[in-house]
Amino acid sequence: MLAAAPESLLASDGRHFDPAKVMTTAMRNEKPGGHGDRAAAVGAIELAIWDLNAKLDDEPAYVAIARAYGRPTAARSVDVYAAGGYYYEPGRGKTLSDELNGYRAMGFSAFKIKVGGAPLADDLKRIEEALAIAGEGSRLSVDANGRFDIQTALAYAEAIAPYKLRWFEEIGDPLDFALNAEVAQAYDRPIATGENLFSLADTKNLLNFGGMRPGRDIFQMDAGLSYGLTEYVRMIELLESRGFDRTQAYPHGGHLINLHIAVGLGLGGCEAYSGVFLPFGGYPAECALGGSSVQPSDASGFGLEQKQELKGLLADLAA
Ligand SMILES: [Mg+2]
C-alpha cells in the first residue's frame, strides 16, 4: 500500500479512495483463501508445546510424535522435493534452469514449479525447460497457487496431461471444491491441494465435495497453519476413514517442523524450500539430504536451533 502510486488507490473523482482498488493492492501477490487468523496462532502455540515436550525428554520431535500416536520411533528418511520454480524476466541473468540446477546441486532430484503466472504457451515452455533437468514427469510437479477459473484449469489440465507430471497443485480457489472435482473428472494424473484448508471441517468439505481420489491425489494440509498437530492428526484419521492412505499426505511448508511430522506420522513426504522463506525454509546440514529423501537430525525438539539463520533469533528470544 505504501509503495503504490497514489492514483492507483483513488476513485475516479481523484478525492476519495476506491475501497476495491485498495483491497486489490493489499492483496497483490497474496494467495486467495486463508480466511482466518486463529488457526495459525493456535498452531504456533500447540507446536511449541511439542517442541518443549521433546526437549524435556532430550529427544527429537519425530520420536515424541511417533510415540504419542503409536507409530515406529526409529529414524527414517522421507521423500522430499525442492519447491520453487519461480518466474524470471528474460535477460535479467537468472533463469528457471539456474534455480533448479541449484537444487540439484544440493541433492534434490524432484522439483515443483509455478504455473499460471504467464500464458499457457509460455508455461508449457517452462515445463519443458524444467523437464530437461528433472528427467521425467514423475519428478516434476506444477503449482497454480489457486489462480485458475474452471476454463483455464481445464485448458491447463488438457495441455499438461501428456507430460505425465507428478501432480497439479492448487488449481483453483482452495475453497472451490466443485472446480477441484471437475478437474479431477477430466485429468487422470494426481491433483494436490489442502495448504489453504485450516481445519478439520475444511478437510471434511474437501473430501465431501472436492472429488479427491484414494490412492492418487495429494493432501497438503499443514499443522502450522491449522491449529497444530492435534487437529492435523484428526485430519489424517479422517482421510484414512474415507479410504485414503497417509502416504498421500505431503504437508505444505518445507521446513523442519513438517519434516518431523512427516517422519513421526509416516506420511508420504514433505517439500523443501532451500534458500527461500528464510529463516524457516530449508533444512540444516545435519539433516541427511540426498536421492530426493531427507532425514531429521538427532537434535532435540524440532531442531530449529541447528538452522544457522534461526540460531541468533532463537537465542535472542531465550535471553
Ligand atoms: Mg503450493
Give pLDDT tens digits for 129-174.
999 999 999 999 999 999 999 999 999 999 999 999 999 999 999 9
Residue 259 cell numbers, joined: 519434516
User: Helices 229-241 and 256-265 meet at what angle, rounded to 10?
Assistant: 40
Q: How far is the CA of 113 from the centre of ligand 1 (A)?
A: 9
Tell me which amino acid residue 26 is: A
The Cα 262–Cα 243 span in angstroms is 19
User: Is the model's pLDDT at 36 over the cut of 80?
Assistant: no
Q: How far is the CA of 18 from the centre of ligand 1 (A)?
A: 31
Q: How far is the CA of 17 from the centre of ligand 1 (A)?
A: 33
Residue 111 cell numbers, joined: 522439483
Confidence band, pLDDT 50/70/90 cuts, at residue 90: confident
Residues whose CB is less than 8 angstroms from the CB of residue 298 and which lie 6 or more positions away in sequence, other chains included: 60, 75
User: Helices 38-56 and 229-241 meet at what angle, rounded to 10?
Assistant: 100
User: Is the model's pLDDT at 184 over the cut of 90?
Assistant: yes
Read off the pLDDT of residues 208-239 as tens digits, 9 standing for 90 and up. Answer: 999 999 999 999 999 999 999 999 999 999 99
Write down the residue that cell numbers 478437510 correspond to: 203
142-146, 188-192, 257-261, 276-280: which range is least confident on average? 276-280
Q: Is the pTM of this model over 0.85?
A: yes
Residues whose CB is less than 8 angstroms from the CB of residue 192 and which lie 6 or more positions away in sequence, other chains included: 141, 143, 167, 168, 169, 170, 217, 218, 219, 220, 250
Q: 114 an active-site residue?
A: yes
- The whole-number pLDDT of residue 5 equals 94
Tell me which amino acid residue 178 is: A
The Cα 292–Cα 125 span in angstroms is 24
Residue 252 cell numbers, joined: 505444505
Confidence band, pLDDT 50/70/90 cuts, at residue 297: very high
User: Is the model's pLDDT at 274 over the cut of 90?
Assistant: no
Tell me which amino acid residue 283 is: Y
Q: How far is the CA of 170 from the centre of ligand 1 (A)?
A: 6
User: Is the model's pLDDT at 91 over the cut of 80?
Assistant: yes
Phi-psi region of 16 (alpha: psi -120 to 50; beta: other; left: phi over 0): beta
Catalytic option among 21, 94, 114, 255: 114
24-28, 97-101, 239-243, 299-303: which range is least confident on average? 24-28
Confidence band, pLDDT 50/70/90 cuts, at residue 34: low
Alpha helices in the chain (DSSP H): 19-26, 38-56, 61-68, 96-106, 120-134, 150-160, 177-186, 200-209, 229-241, 256-265, 308-318
User: Is the model's pLDDT at 298 over the cut of 90?
Assistant: yes
Catalytic option among 252, 255, 260, 307: 252
Q: How far is the CA of 123 from the centre of ligand 1 (A)?
A: 16
Give the percent of the chain with pLDDT over 70. Answer: 99
The most distant pair of C-alpha atoms in the chain lies apart, rounded to whole Å, by 67
Write down the residue that cell numbers 472436492 correspond to: 210
106-115, 125-134, 172-181, 274-283: which range is least confident on average? 274-283
Q: List b or e across 269-293, with b for residues whose CB sees 16 or more CB atoms inside 10 angstroms.
A: bbbbbbeeeeebbbbbeebebeebb
Confidence band, pLDDT 50/70/90 cuts, at residue 29: confident
The answer to whether 225 and 252 are in contact (CB under 8 A) is: yes
The answer to whether 310 and 280 are in contact (CB under 8 A) is: yes
H/E element, 142: strand 140-143
The Cα 54–Cα 72 span in angstroms is 16
Q: How far is the CA of 30 from the centre of ligand 1 (A)?
A: 12
Read off the pLDDT of residues 112-139 as tens digits, 9 standing for 90 and up. Answer: 999 999 999 999 999 999 999 999 999 9
Q: How far is the CA of 272 from the centre of ligand 1 (A)?
A: 12
- The whole-number pLDDT of residue 224 equals 94
Q: How far is the first Cα of the chain from the last one, in angstroms, to the nearest whole number? A: 35
The Cα 154–Cα 165 span in angstroms is 15
The Cα 215–Cα 246 span in angstroms is 10
Q: How far is CA 193 from CA 23, 24, 76, 80, 149, in A?
A: 26, 24, 25, 17, 15
The Cα 11–Cα 18 span in angstroms is 5
Distance of CA 92 to the CA centre of its chain: 27
User: Is the model's pLDDT at 75 over the cut of 80?
Assistant: no
Confidence band, pLDDT 50/70/90 cuts, at residue 180: very high
